[in-house]
Structure 1
Amino acid sequence: MASTEERRFAVLRAIVADYVSNQEPVASKAIVERHNLGVSSATVRNDMASLEEDGYIAQPHTSAGRIPTDKGYRLFVDRLSDVKPLSAAERRAIASFLDGAIDLDDVLRRSVRMLAQLTRQVAVIQYPTLTHSLVRHIELVQLTPARLMLVLITDNGRVDQRMIELGDVITDDAVARLRTMLNSTLVDHRVTDAAAKVSELLEEAPAELRDVMTRVSTVLIETLVEHPEERLVLGGTANLTRNAADFPGSLRQVLEALEEQVVVLKLFAAAGSPGTVTVRIGEENEAEEMRSTSVVSIGYGAHQTLLGGMGVVGPTRMDYPGTIAAVRAVANYVGDILAGR
C-alpha cells in the first residue's frame, strides 16, 4: 500500500482510538498532539478530508471533529494485524473463575459473567448443540408410583430433564429394567442417531413393559430434538444502558431483540470452527434492530468439534482489539473445560 494510504490509515486508527476512549468527535489538532504521526496539522486535515470523502469518517455536526463510520470501523478491524493478548493476570482470573464451576450450567453462567466484565458489553453464549454430542447416561427416577423423571446426560455435560406421566403404577424392578434397556441401546451413540434407535427399544421391550416404554420413548425423542429457543445465556445487559448515547433512538429495540433471543441465535447460527472470530459492524447485521450494534462472535468447542457460539453485543464504538482478545480467551477456556468433562 502506498505511503499516503498508510498515513491516512494511521489517521483513521488514531480517530478510532480517541473516539472509542473519549466518545467525543476527534479534531486534527488532537490527533497531532496525542499521536506521534510525524506530520503537520495541515496534512492531517487533508487526510481527514480524504477519509471523509471515502466514507470512513463523518462529521456529526458543524464545527465538530470527526467520528468513525461503520465503513471506517470495518477497515480498522480488517487491518488488525495483531490483537494484544490478555495479561497474565487476566488469564489467571478467567481460569480461576471458570475452574470453580460445578456443572455445565455453572460453566456457561460464569463464562457470560466473566466476558461481560472483561468487555463491559452484553455477553452471550449458546448451550452446546446436541448435533455432535454423545449420550453418556440416561437416568429414570421414580417420583411417584405413576410418574417418572427422565434425565439425559451428554458427554459435554449437558443435562436435560423431563417428566413422564405413566397413567398407571410401575414397580421399582420395572424402572430398573427400563433404565438398563435405555442405556444399553443408546449410550455412546450420537444424540442425532439415538433418536432413530429409540424404535428398537419399542420392538425389543417385553409385552408387560411395552405401554410404559412407548410413553418413555415419546418423551425421550422430544428430549433428543434441538430446542434453539432454550439454548442461550445472556449477561451484562445493563452495560448497554450505561452507554445509551451510543444508541440514539434505538436502545429500546436493541434490548427487546436481546430479550427475545431469536435475533441473537441467528447471529451465532453460522459459527465456524472453534477459534474463528467474526465481527459484524452496524449495517452488516441483517436484523434491523441490531444495526446500531457490533457483534463479536466465536465458535467454541472441544477437540476441533464445534459445540456452540459465544460473543458480545455492544455499540459500534467498541474496543475491538480488547473485545476480540477477551472473546477468544474465554472461548478457549470453555472449550478446554468441556473437553475435560
Structure 2
Amino acid sequence: MSDERRLDVLRAIVQDYVETREPVGSRVLVERHSLGVSPATIRNDMAALEEFGFIAQPHTSAGRVPTDKGYRLFVDQIGAVKPLSAAEKRAIQMLLGDALDLDDVVERTVRLLAQLTHQVAVVQYPSLKRLSLRHLELVPLSAERLLVVIITDTGRVEQRNVETTTELDGNILAELRARLNVIAAGRRLEAVTPELEALPEQFAPAHQELVRAVAQQLTDTLRLDSEERIVMAGTANLARSDFDFTRTISPVLEALEEQVVLLKLFSEMAQDSIAVRIGSENKDEALSEASIVTSLYGSEEPSEGVGRLGVLGPTRMDYPGTMAAVRAVARYLSRILAS
C-alpha cells in the first residue's frame, strides 16, 4: 500500500469531515475526490488508517472520522500555510490600520481573529518582561510625590507613583531621568534590573533614597503578575459548536474563564511561528476535545516575540485556514507595533 496514497485518503477524510460534520465513507471519497483507485482499494487504505489509529468508526455501519492522531498527521503534512484572500487581507488592514493605542490594537485584533476563524480568539498582552523600553519619564506631582512613566517600544504605557520623604530637586530628577534612559532605552526591561539596583550608588547620599525608590518601583513593576493578561472574543462561536463535543462544553468555557490556564498553555507552546495543540495533546483535561492554534507576535524572530495570539475551537477545525489567519494577523500586529 502506498504511504502517499494513504495520506491522500486521510486528507480527504479530514477535509470532508470538517466540511460536513458527517462520518466519511469510501463511496463518498470516490465521488468527491480523484484518488485514482478503486473503492475496494480505498476501503483497504481506510482499514489500515484505522488500524494505526488515524481514523475511527463512531458507530457500526458508519463512515470514519479523524482521531487526534489523524489530525496531527494531517497538520504535520501541511507543507506551507496558504495565504489569505485579498478580501481577508483588506479586512485586516481596515480594522487594524487606524487603531489609536495599544489597548485599541489588542481589542481590534482579538475581534478580527474571531471573525476570520469563527472560533474563540485569544490575544496575550505584550509582557513587560519581554518588551524593550522606548522612554522613561519622571513627572513631579507635588513637592514629595513623583510619577514614573514607562513607555515601551510597543506603545504600552505604565504609570507608577513614588512617594519621597524629601523635597524633589529638579536638577536631580533631570540627571536621574537621563541616566535611566541611558541604561534602559532600547533594551529589554528584564535585562536592566542589575543596573537599576546599582544606580543609587552613583548619586550623593542625600539623593540615594529617591533613586532607590524609583529603581525599586521599576523592578517591582516587572514582577507584577497582573501584567500577564489576555483578551478574548468569540466565545459564542464555541457555543455554536456544542455538537462537536461528546461531552458538555462547560469545562472548556470554565477553562477559558480561568486565564491562568490559557497563560500556562501559551507558555508551554513551542517557540514556532505557528504552534498547534490538538485534543489530547493538551495537558488540561478540560481542553481534551479542543484544539489551539497560536503564533508569537512582535518580532520577525519567533523567540523574540512579545506575546502570543491564537484561537481555540473543537478538534473538527479548518486547520489550514485557521493557521493562515493566525499567522497573517500575528504578522500584521507585529508590523503595527514596530511602527
Aligned residue among 58, 61, 73 for 1:60: 58
User: For residue 327 of structure 1, what is the aligned residue in structure 2?
Assistant: 326
1:309 counterpart SS class: strand
Task: Sort the Cα spacing of 1:256 and 1:167 in 2 relative to 1 into closer, same or farther, 3 A.
Answer: farther
How far off is 1:145 after superposition?
5.4
User: For residue 27 of structure 1, what is the aligned residue in structure 2?
Assistant: 25
- Aligned alpha-carbon RMSD (Å): 2.7
How far off is 1:229 after superposition?
6.0
Task: Sort the Cα spacing of 1:184 and 1:10 in 2 relative to 1 into closer, same or farther, 3 A.
Answer: closer
How far off is 1:170 after superposition?
5.0
Equivalent pair of 1:283/1:292 in contact (CA under 8 Å): yes
2:316 maps to 1:314: no
Q: Which moved more, 1:38-47 or 1:61-70?
A: 38-47
Q: Distance in 2 between matches of 1:137 and 1:229?
A: 19
User: For residue 133 of structure 2, what is the aligned residue in structure 1?
Assistant: 135
Aligned residue among 245, 249, 254 for 1:247: 245
Q: Distance in 1 between matches of 2:329 and 2:138?
A: 35
User: For residue 90 of structure 2, what is the aligned residue in structure 1?
Assistant: 92
Number of aligned residue pairs? 337
Q: Distance in 2 between matches of 1:10 and 1:184?
A: 58
Aligned residue among 256, 259, 266 for 1:258: 256
Alignment of 1:97-246 (within 5 A): 97-143=95-141, 146-166=144-164, 170=168, 179-225=177-223, 227=225, 230-246=228-244
Residue type of the partner of 1:292? E
Equivalent pair of 2:197/2:212 in contact (CA under 8 Å): no
Q: Distance in 1 between matches of 2:189 and 2:326?
A: 28
2:287 maps to 1:290: yes
Residue type of the partner of 1:27? G
User: For residue 297 of structure 2, what is the aligned residue in structure 1?
Assistant: 300
Equivalent pair of 1:185/1:201 in contact (CA under 8 Å): no
Q: Distance in 1 between matches of 2:31 and 2:257?
A: 43
How far off is 1:191 after superposition?
1.0
Alignment of 1:38-53 (within 5 A): 38-53=36-51
Cα distance per residue 1:188-228 (max 9 Å; x no partner) = 44312322222343223445544343333322211133637
How far off is 1:326 after superposition?
0.8
Equivalent pair of 1:271/1:298 in contact (CA under 8 Å): no
2:306 counterpart SS class: strand
1:269 counterpart SS class: helix
User: For residue 36 of structure 1, what is the aligned residue in structure 2?
Assistant: 34
2:100 counterpart SS class: coil
How far off is 1:130 after superposition?
3.7
Q: Distance in 1 between matches of 2:248 and 2:150?
A: 41
Cα distance per residue 1:26-68 (max 9 Å; x no partner) = 2223222222323443333333222222211112122322211
How far off is 1:138 after superposition?
1.6
Equivalent pair of 1:229/1:262 in contact (CA under 8 Å): no
Q: Which moved more, 1:54-63 or 1:184-193?
A: 184-193
Scaled by the length of structure 2, what TM-score is found? 0.87
Cα distance per residue 1:306-332 (max 9 Å; x no partner) = 322222111110000101111111111
Structure 1 residue runs without a partner (length 5+): none
Q: Distance in 2 between matches of 1:43 and 1:241?
A: 39
Task: Sort the Cα spacing of 1:188 and 1:299 in 2 relative to 1 into closer, same or farther, 3 A.
Answer: closer
User: For residue 15 of structure 1, what is the aligned residue in structure 2?
Assistant: 13
Residue type of the partner of 1:280? R
How far off is 1:336 after superposition?
1.7
How far off is 1:24 after superposition?
1.7
Q: Which moved more, 1:223-232 or 1:301-310?
A: 223-232
Q: Distance in 2 between matches of 1:244 and 1:127?
A: 28
Structure 2 residue runs without a partner (length 5+): none
Residue type of the partner of 2:257? E
Q: Distance in 2 between matches of 1:66 and 1:213?
A: 68
Q: Which moved more, 1:227-236 or 1:246-255?
A: 227-236
Q: Distance in 1 between matches of 2:142 and 2:25?
A: 73
Q: Distance in 2 between matches of 1:145 and 1:289?
A: 54
How far off is 1:72 after superposition?
1.1
Equivalent pair of 2:128/2:227 in contact (CA under 8 Å): no
Q: Which moved more, 1:222-231 or 1:170-179?
A: 170-179
Q: Percent identity?
A: 54
How far off is 1:147 after superposition?
4.2
Aligned residue among 60, 63, 67 for 1:69: 67
Q: Distance in 2 between matches of 1:249 and 1:7?
A: 34
Q: Distance in 2 between matches of 1:37 and 1:200?
A: 69
